[in-house]
Structure 1
Amino acid sequence: MAKDVEGEFTAKDYTDPPPAPLIDVEELGKWSFYRAVIAEFIATLLFLYITVATVIGYKHQSDPTLGNVDAACSGVGILGIAWAFGGMIFILVYCTAGISGGHINPAVTFGLFLARKVSLIRAVLYMVAQCLGAICGVGLVKGFQKAYYVRYGGGANELALGYSRGTGLAAEIIGTFVLVYTVFSATDPKRSARDSHVPVLAPLPIGFAVFMVHLATIPITGTGINPARSFGAAVIYNKDKAWDDQWIFWVGPFIGAAIAAAYHQYILRAGAVKALGSFRSNA
């Protein structure tokens, strides 16, 4: 270990982990792998259940056709919806990080795959589990709130009136970039070694990133930044508009995740390595 700095902070030793194998067949024989896949399924199910139920509940409470004179001020509002999404990500990443890594989002999984943090087999099965979990989560919402589910749009992501598809795509790219960039930064072991005197609870900035992106893009696309979330809602809602815009909520997040992975791996992380070396030389 490096010596203490200013008598209080200590620099941690760091060994760069090897990249994950592209195809790791051995994973298929480990229970820990299937446990992780199950965790991704359950986490995404819970995520969609809570968040879509919040959306439907808000739209019902603020429906002016029901005779509520204060309809415009009823319900949790857009701010509450953003908190529901960000808060659930914080909770679920905290709960599942030690089991599956707490991805809960095919775009996050894709970004981590590009950075060689997970193998292709794990990435594919995570994405399948996430999409199935999303379908089941939204299915529960429809089962419990069938009278309101279709009336209030099913929580499906659709491009809002007045916005072009290019604008919607750009919003999804930038929003996902913010999320995946935060994931890389909050979980980077080199940064943890360099800034060991600044404790960071990784789920907190990740959840807060989701919250902030929702504030910005709910009026444009309803905020996807998670293909499983958009796909699960589209499958259960099953209306033409949701399917017509579905490509935006896959192409945008995957492009954003790829840019974030490249930006972190080849630009920011290189700077972190240099800073860590400087920190050690001065310690």
Structure 2
Amino acid sequence: MEGKEEDVRVGANRYGERQPIGTAAQAKDYREPPSAPLFEAGELSSWSFYRAGIAEFVATFLFLYITVLTVMGVAKSKSKCSTVGIQGIAWAFGGMIFALVYCTAGISGGHINPAVTFGLFLARKLSMTRAIFYIIMQCLGAICGAGVVKGFEPHLYERLGGGANTIAKGYTNIAGLGAEIVGTFVLVYTVFSATDAKRNARDSHVPILAPLPIGFAVFLVHLATIPVTGTGINPARSLGAAIIFNKDQAWDDHVSLIHP
């Protein structure tokens, strides 16, 4: 009987009728970790803290670099049939999130999104110190990523909108705001579900690859909201593209005043 119980514990299906379910399984395999402290001064002297911030910077930089280039490639083409189209843009966003979360999950948790970081902070999964640091690094990475794309061809970047989010014709600001709120909720909800430790304990016999549902959620949300707002759902992505694009617009307006 001891051998049978051991097989059940590690998730074998041989004695599935003996496997505890529901709260019984959670009580056996899972213990709720303590909430993260609001402020943890010790993190500031830890290399792993800064390494995690660097990982968030690099991941958000690469995310903006690839996705903004994809958006501009579609906008540049006269015939959408000759490009990846909206579906390709959605795959670029979802695919990059899948790859980058997979690469950085073991270093920083693979947030790559201030909305995800803020949600995890509210759930007390990380300290305010780490949350603020992550958000700053994410925004800086996004700005640098969009800036590198702009550096390839500044005039083309301006003409094609720079990947900045805008409300499409026929939609109101309220509709755009609603689309972004629901889309961001879908993403954050998926992140919480995919990384739920209780699920891993309860369904330990089912391998769960968290980056896959997260990337797929990003893909689906983009399919739905690209025609409405261009899809933000990531404040760093929207901020980075908007700052670089609007900086160009402001400079052009300044030059036009000096040299009409």
TM-score scaled to structure 1, two decimals?
Answer: 0.79
Map residues 23-38 of structure 1 onto 2, 5 A cutoff.
23-38=39-54
SS in 1 for 2:159: coil
Structure 1: how far apart are the matches of 2:154 and 2:206? Answer: 47
CA 1:53/1:72 → structure 2, altered by over 3 Å: closer, same or farther?
A: closer
Map residues 51-130 of structure 1 onto 2, 5 A cutoff.
51-61=67-77, 63=78, 71-130=79-138
Maintained 8 Å contact 2:29/2:202: no
Structure 2: how far apart are the matches of 1:168 and 1:29? Answer: 42
The amino acid across from 2:175 in the alignment is T
Deviations 1:38-63 (A, max 9, x none): 000000000000000000011112x2
The amino acid across from 2:181 in the alignment is I
Q: Which residue of 1 aligns with 2:61?
A: 45
1:189 and 2:189 matched: no
**Bigger mean CA offset, 157-166 vs 121-130:** 157-166
SS in 1 for 2:29: coil
1:228 and 2:244 matched: no
Maintained 8 Å contact 2:158/2:248: no
Map residues 128-167 of structure 1 onto 2, 5 A cutoff.
128-167=136-175
**Bigger mean CA offset, 229-238 vs 189-198:** 189-198
Q: Which residue of 2 aligns with 1:19?
A: 35
Cα shift at 1:147: 3.8
Structure 2 unmatched ranges of 5 or more = 20-24, 250-260
**Bigger mean CA offset, 86-95 vs 52-61:** 52-61
SS in 2 for 1:234: helix
Structure 1 unmatched ranges of 5 or more = 64-70, 242-283
CA 1:149/1:113 → structure 2, altered by over 3 Å: closer, same or farther?
A: same
CA 1:77/1:13 → structure 2, altered by over 3 Å: closer, same or farther?
A: same
Structure 1: how far apart are the matches of 2:210 and 2:13? Answer: 26
1:238 and 2:246 matched: yes
The amino acid across from 1:234 in the alignment is A
Cα shift at 1:197: 1.5
Structure 2: how far apart are the matches of 1:133 and 1:214? Answer: 21
CA RMSD of aligned residues (A): 2.0
Deviations 1:62-121 (A, max 9, x none): x2xxxxxxx131211000000000000000000000000000000000000000001001
Cα shift at 1:21: 0.4
Structure 2: how far apart are the matches of 1:115 and 1:73? Answer: 44
Q: Which residue of 2 aligns with 1:180?
A: 188
Structure 1: how far apart are the matches of 2:233 and 2:174? Answer: 15
The amino acid across from 1:201 in the alignment is L
Deviations 1:185-244 (A, max 9, x none): 000000111111211100000000000000000000000000000000011000799xxx
Q: Which residue of 2 aligns with 1:68?
A: none
1:7 and 2:7 matched: no
Q: Which residue of 1 aligns with 2:254?
A: none
SS in 1 for 2:55: helix
Structure 1: how far apart are the matches of 2:64 and 2:29? Answer: 40
TM-score scaled to structure 2, two decimals?
Answer: 0.86
Tell me the percent identity.
71
Cα shift at 1:145: 3.1
SS in 2 for 1:162: coil
How many equivalent residue pairs? 234
Structure 2: how far apart are the matches of 1:97 and 1:193? Answer: 19
Q: Which residue of 1 aligns with 2:258?
A: none
The amino acid across from 1:36 in the alignment is A
Maintained 8 Å contact 2:146/2:240: yes
